[in-house]
């Protein structure tokens, strides 16, 4: 039996700031492959965005107007509200809490005509909407955690967001976590019972048949690709770069991504004498991502708390050896990568230099990593999600 799912997403390529949108797209693709009907509810800030929004692969896409953004805090939302026009202020909530409540009510209105069997919500901002609509329609709903407030803030959470997140997880019929690492956080810090959580790792739409071949006619290049935010630890990448530069001044570094910390990181790079070997690419468009990976000889993910780390899979698919933080979910699925505590600058630098200097090791990491992860596709992961839907719908039909 094929079920109809109403999915509340928060971002979707090409309009996305992080891995959440890429994962949402992959799940929709995978579910559609398994003949699931998917109605996707997505936010948009202004009618002009709605007009030019790229089509999704969902059966139906509903756009819900809101200025909320995936990685919003009270401060970032408040700043944008203060800078907005008078007409926008009349439309939207004056603070984060009020706007989330307004978005929840608007979501119920905009999806009233949809008759799904189950609801799937991605991260905390959609939990209120999922709960409200599921209660109204008397159907189960799934809370899918891609990142917690603790991850985003290095365990110094905004109490309001933490409370809303916890409330949503407690209300959900079932919870999907992107890693055992995230499941552990949900159990320890949010008090969610292990029995209510299923771990389903992220994947890729398809792995290439073989990793890309690298050209060795240029200086070696080390890549950081992520939001310039505390969670992603760009400061540690600078520390690693400084350490490597002291040992080998031929190595080049590329930092790709935007975020609140970007100006500060650029200033620090200059202050540390790295201006001549450090390039900042800023926000990278979807169509430019492959070119970015092809430039790299080593990819580094030094996150302080990374629920998964989809960029590491993307790097491997492009034939790039990776060094990742032990404090990450993707470390659970990598058998041919260096895994280092995020704070260990010396060891991370040593691992990177080993990769750059040992061509045989570099080739082994490229080929073995790629081979071992070929089964980690969204088609396979979506089948696991579909099976959860079936179990929940079957239980709900019997017990209500």
Q: Which CATH number fits domain 221-372: 2.40.30.10, 3.40.50.2000, 3.10.20.600, 3.40.630.10?
A: 3.40.50.2000
Cβ atoms of residues 164 and 148 within 8 Å = no
The domain defined by 4-205+377-399 folds into Rossmann fold (3.40.50)
pLDDT tens digits along 28-42: 999 999 999 999 999
Cβ atoms of residues 256 and 225 within 8 Å = yes
Distance of CA 172 to the CA centre of its chain: 21
pLDDT tens digits along 344-368: 999 999 999 999 999 999 999 999 9
pLDDT for position 56: 60
Structure tokens given for 65: 């107007």
* Domains of the chain by residue range: 4-205+377-399, 221-372
pLDDT tens digits along 162-187: 999 999 999 999 999 999 999 999 99
Question: Does residue 51 register a pLDDT over 50?
Answer: no
Give the residue ranges of DSSP H helices in the chain.
Answer: 19-33, 47-52, 74-83, 86-91, 96-110, 127-137, 149-153, 159-171, 180-190, 234-247, 262-271, 289-295, 310-317, 345-357, 359-372, 378-399
What is the sign of the dihedral through the CA atoms of 128, 129, 132 and 135? negative
Chain position carrying tokens 């009233």: 112
d(CA 345, CA 353): 12
Q: Interior CA angle at 278 toward 275 and 281, to 5°?
A: 120
Mean pLDDT calculated for residue range 265-279: 97
pLDDT tens digits along 288-311: 999 999 999 999 999 999 999 999
pLDDT tens digits along 94-141: 677 888 888 899 999 999 999 999 999 999 999 999 999 999 999 999
Mean pLDDT of all residues belonging to the chain: 90
Mean pLDDT calculated for residue range 64-83: 74
Question: Does residue 155 register a pLDDT over 50?
Answer: yes
């Amino acid at each position: 039996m094929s079920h109809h799912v109403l999915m509340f997403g928060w971002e979707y390529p090409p309009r996305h700031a992080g891995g959440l949108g890429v994962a949402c797209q992959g799940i929709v693709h995978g579910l559609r492959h398994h003949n699931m009907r998917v109605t996707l509810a997505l936010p948009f800030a202004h009618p002009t965005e709605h007009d030019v929004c790229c089509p999704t692969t969902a059966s139906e896409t509903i756009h819900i107007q809101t200025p909320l953004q995936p990685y919003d805090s009270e401060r970032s939302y408040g700043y944008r509200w203060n800078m907005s026009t008078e007409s926008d202020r009349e439309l939207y909530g004056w603070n984060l809490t009020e706007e989330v409540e307004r978005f929840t009510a608007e979501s119920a209105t905009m999806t009233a005509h949809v008759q799904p069997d189950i609801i799937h919500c991605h991260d905390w901002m959609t939990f209120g909407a999922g709960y409200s609509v599921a209660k109204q329609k008397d159907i189960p709903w799934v809370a899918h955690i891609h990142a917690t407030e603790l991850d985003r803030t290095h365990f110094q959470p905004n109490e309001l967001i933490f409370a809303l997140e916890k409330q949503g997880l407690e209300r959900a019929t079932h919870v999907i976590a992107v890693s055992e690492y995230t499941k552990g956080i949900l159990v320890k810090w949010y008090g969610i019972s292990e029995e209510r959580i299923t771990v389903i790792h992220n994947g890729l739409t398809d792995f290439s048949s073989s990793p890309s071949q690298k050209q060795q006619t240029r200086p070696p290049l080390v890549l950081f690709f992520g939001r310039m935010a505390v969670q992603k630890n760009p400061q540690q990448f600078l520390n690693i770069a400084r350490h490597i530069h002291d040992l080998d001044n031929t190595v080049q570094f590329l930092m790709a991504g935007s975020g609140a910390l970007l100006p500060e990181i650029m200033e620090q790079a200059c202050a540390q004498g790295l201006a001549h070997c450090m390039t900042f690419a800023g926000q990278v468009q979807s169509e430019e991502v492959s070119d970015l990976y092809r430039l790299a000889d080593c990819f580094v993910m030094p996150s302080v708390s990374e629920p998964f780390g989809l960029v590491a899979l993307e790097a491997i698919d492009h034939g790039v050896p990776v060094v990742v933080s032990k404090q990450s979910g993707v470390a659970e699925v990598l058998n041919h990568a260096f895994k280092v505590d995020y704070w260990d600058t010396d060891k991370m630098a040593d691992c990177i230099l080993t990769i750059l200097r040992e061509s045989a090791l570099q080739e082994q990491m490229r080929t073995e990593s790629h081979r071992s992860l070929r089964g980690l596709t969204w088609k396979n992961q979506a089948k696991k999600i579909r099976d959860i839907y079936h179990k929940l719908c079957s239980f709900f039909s019997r017990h209500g």
